[in-house]
Amino acid sequence: MSTTFLRTDLRRVLRNRRALVFAVIMPAVLYLVFGATQKSSDTVGSGNVAFYVLVGMAVYGAIIAAASNAASVAMEQESGWTRTLMMTTLRPTGYVATKVAVALAMGALPMAVLAVAGLVTGAEAPIGVWIGCLALGWLGSAVFAAFGLTVGALFRSDGAMQVMGGGIALLAFAGNVFVPLKGTMLTVSQFTPMFGVVTIARYPLDHGMTAYDEHVSLTVAIINAIAWAIIFTAAAAYTYTRSTRRQ
């Protein structure tokens, strides 16, 4: 990882106000509509339903921020910046690691906004559960930084953002983020990329018990997250190398 490249890239993405507003405001609005309106007496595990929804939206927001930032590689390709980087000592894995670090920094913003919104609107859970859920969700969003890099390397800048937005929304529905799944749908969701991250993030709250009293193994969730992290990272390094060779 290049610390110089890390500082430069972080300053660049912080200047992109449109992307920041989209990644931070939209998950907060979704929480206010679907989470803050729930009765505070309705409970899930050691917290209430509002906090359960908040965790899902916080993970979704962090993933949007991480993946959207990483998709900026498409614009860097068009400008010839990635070819310039390939002429330096920065390896493809170092490029991916730097982008993941920047994505984690950006993913912390929607987490912080949603935490404040939850405190104001009555989301309830023990303080240890608050910290555990949000920290795990934030770390898990790094998986999708590599996903964003892959999409950014495969598409042009305009197409990359369109694929990114629609793809993440579909993965959220399939991964048990927005709507609680059960039965066969829950089983199928265990193979989708977002399932492991959101399940791990919610585990301090619900200990793997779904809204339909079905239990999800923590081991399955961890394997899911690790497997998709490996797949996305390998794909990102490969597509980055191939795209720079084309240039």
The pLDDT, as a whole number, for residue 78 is 65
Cβ-contact 233, 147 below 8 angstroms: no
Distances (CA, A) of 170 to 43, 165, 174, 179: 27, 9, 6, 12
pLDDT band at 71 (very low <50, low <70, confident <90, very high): low
Model confidence, pTM: 0.87
- pLDDT tens digits along 159-217: 666 777 788 989 999 999 998 899 999 999 999 999 999 999 999 999 999 888 899 99
Domain span holding position 173:
3-246
Q: Could you tell me the two tokens for 36?
A: 């803050």
Cα 159 to chain centroid, rounded: 20
- Of 67, 58, 54, the C-alpha closest to 165 is 67
The pLDDT, as a whole number, for residue 67 is 83
How close are the terminal C-alpha atoms of the chain, in Å?
23
Number of domains in the chain: 1
**Which of 59-73, 81-95, 230-244 shows the lowest mean pLDDT across its residues?**
81-95
Cβ-contact 157, 74 below 8 angstroms: yes
Q: Could you tell me the two tokens for 7?
A: 């500082």
Cβ-contact 178, 172 below 8 angstroms: yes
Tokens 């310039």, residue located:
84
Using the predicted structure, report yes or no on whether residue 153 has a pLDDT greater than 60: yes
117 backbone dihedrals φ, ψ, rounded to 5°: -60, -40
Using the predicted structure, report yes or no on whether residue 157 has a pLDDT greater than 90: no
Using the predicted structure, report yes or no on whether residue 247 has a pLDDT greater than 60: no
> How many residues does this entry show for the chain?
247
- pLDDT tens digits along 14-39: 777 776 777 788 899 999 998 888 88
The pLDDT, as a whole number, for residue 158 is 59
The pLDDT, as a whole number, for residue 202 is 96
Using the predicted structure, report yes or no on whether residue 245 has a pLDDT greater than 60: no
Average pLDDT, the chain: 84
Distances (CA, A) of 120 to 36, 43, 178, 200: 9, 18, 22, 25
Residues 30 and 159: their CA atoms lie apart, in Å, by: 25
- Select the more confidently predicted residue: 112 or 79: 112
pLDDT (mean) for 59-85:
75
- Biggest CA–CA distance in the chain, Å, is 59
Task: Please report how many Cα atoms fall inside a 13 Å half-sphere around the Cα of residue 172, on the Cβ side.
Answer: 23
